[in-house]
Amino acid sequence: MHDIATTSAHRRPLTGDGDIEGSKILIVDDSGLMRQLISAQLRKHGYFNFLFASNGREALSVIENDLPDLVILDLMMPEMDGFEVCRRVRLEPRTADLPVLVQTAMTETDKRLNVFEVGATDMVLKPINPLELGARVRIHLENRLLLRRLSSFRSKMKSELNLAHEMQKSLLPTPEQVGDIGARYAAAIATHYEGSMELGGDIWGVRAIDESRFAVYVTDFSGHGVGAALNTFRFHTFMLRPELALADPLASMVAFNGFLSGVLQVGQYATMFYGVIDIAASRLRYVSAAAPVPIARIGNDEECICLDSTGLPLGIAGDSEYERREIEFPPGSFLFLYSDALIETPSMSDPVFLPETLRRHLTEARRYDSPARAVEETLDRLNAEAPEAIDDDLTILSLCRRGNEGPRNDG
């Protein structure tokens, strides 16, 4: 019987990743008769795409040049045996998951275990049963196909998630836009946004209202993934409507709640802080919808304070009522807003920060005189005490009013 070594035999084009029978099968055996016998048995099961090698070195060369989908490997061969082939195949990232079906006449249990220790996927005993061989080959080829599809799916999903992350980031103000707001209203503003591994639901912003007033807000939608991300897009679009009375925190929050109550699914909601800083009146007027407790300092006071942030989350009921609150906010005043990831890391039961510890942290050493420093040192402490990656979006918005200079009306 004629043997074909290290080349394909009876190959026809593959019809797609679902064509199991078109998979490449490498048969490695020092006996030409066994190579032809195994390929003949597999042809009866519908397989037709074969590669051949007569020893281990030849097999590694074939694998390197024409990667198969499955290897049927004899153990006892000259030059390089099947044990060494398995070891080397498993050491290479490109072939680490390549199915290797060992054929052997060994009967000792300990030697059979050695086969799996060096990396064999499965084993068939000689003399080979054609039905068993066909069944095992199909199982491993189907598994390989599923792994390929899973890998392709993951790669595609990763690419799409990266794109979605970038689209979410595009909703947020750019550093230039934040800098313009700060320059116009004599405020130092520092921000931090860190998306979770999944798509998340944080969205924040600073927005000019008129020559003496600007708005700041942080919104956190419940959940993760595509649903939470879609909610941020919907909300961002709604906030662009010109008819919204953004200068009035209470009217704005009522409008936000009415909109979200109509679009959020049952069980979804959002927390939000929405405030308007009036530099002419030196006031901060704000409304909270169950937002994490904001930290503030009024003028040159020594201590930071925790602001009242009680209120119903957005989207739960269309007729929810909210309360407008107001504090003095003269030059030197400081405001620190954040999403709940800051006070739920590393866990809700054992967080690095609670509102009170965060208040003390920001009071110490007058860190709040520099919003950028406040953000930086808060993150440094968080990362030092909870070094694992945060499994949630983390948003921080920190600002401080500068001296007594008035607003700039230069846009």
pLDDT tens sequence across 263-317: 999 989 999 999 999 999 999 999 999 999 999 999 989 899 999 999 999 999 9
Q: Are 219 and 270 in contact (CB under 8 A)?
A: yes
Paired with 48 in beta bridges are none
Neighbours of 320 (CB within 10 A): 17
> Hunting for tokens 């959020």 — which residue is that?
264
If phi > 0 it is left, if psi is from -120 to 50 it is alpha, else beta; for residue 400 that is beta
Instruction: Note the pLDDT of residue 166.
Output: 81
**Element holding 137 (H helix, E strand):** helix 130-170
- pLDDT for the residue 333: 96
Rounded to an integer, what distance in angstroms lies between the CA atom of residue 172 and that of residue 352?
27
- Cα dihedral sign for 83, 86, 92, 96? negative
Rg for the chain (alpha carbons), in Å?
Answer: 33
Q: Which fold has domain 20-153?
A: Rossmann fold (3.40.50)
Distance from C-alpha of 410 to C-alpha of 273, rounded to nearest angstrom: 28
- Strand pairing class (70-74; 25-28): parallel
Q: Say which CATH class 171-401 falls into.
A: alpha beta
- Average pLDDT of each block of 10 consecutive residues along the chain (411 residues)? 42 49 93 95 94 96 96 92 94 93 78 82 91 94 88 78 78 95 97 79 95 97 84 93 94 97 93 98 98 96 95 96 98 96 91 96 79 94 86 91 57 36
Q: What is the pLDDT of residue 4?
A: 42
| Alpha carbons within 13 A on the beta-carbon side of 1 | 12
From CA 120, how far away is CA 83, in angstroms rounded? Answer: 8
- Nearest Cα neighbor of 77 from 118, 29, 38, 37 is 29
Instruction: Please tell me the distance from the alpha carbon of residue 194 to that of residue 3, in angstroms, as a whole number.
Output: 61
CA distance linking residue 111 with residue 105, whole number of Å: 11
CB 166 within 8 A of CB 199: no
- Residues carrying CATH 3.40.50.2300, the chain: 20-153
Distance, in Å, from the CA atom of 305 to the CA atom of 314, rounded to the nearest integer, reads 25
To 5 degrees, how large is the angle CA 366–CA 372–CA 376?
85
pLDDT digits (tens, 9 = 90+) for 55-90: 999 999 999 999 999 999 999 898 899 999 999 999
Residue type, 397: L
Measured from the Cβ of residue 350, the count of other Cβ atoms closer than 10 Å reads: 9
- Cα-Cα-Cα-Cα torsion 54, 60, 61, 62, nearest 10 degrees, comes to 70
SS3 134: helix
Q: How far is CA 180 from CA 9, 186, 189, 284, in A?
A: 70, 10, 10, 20
Angle at 27 between CA 26 and CA 29, to 5 degrees: 145
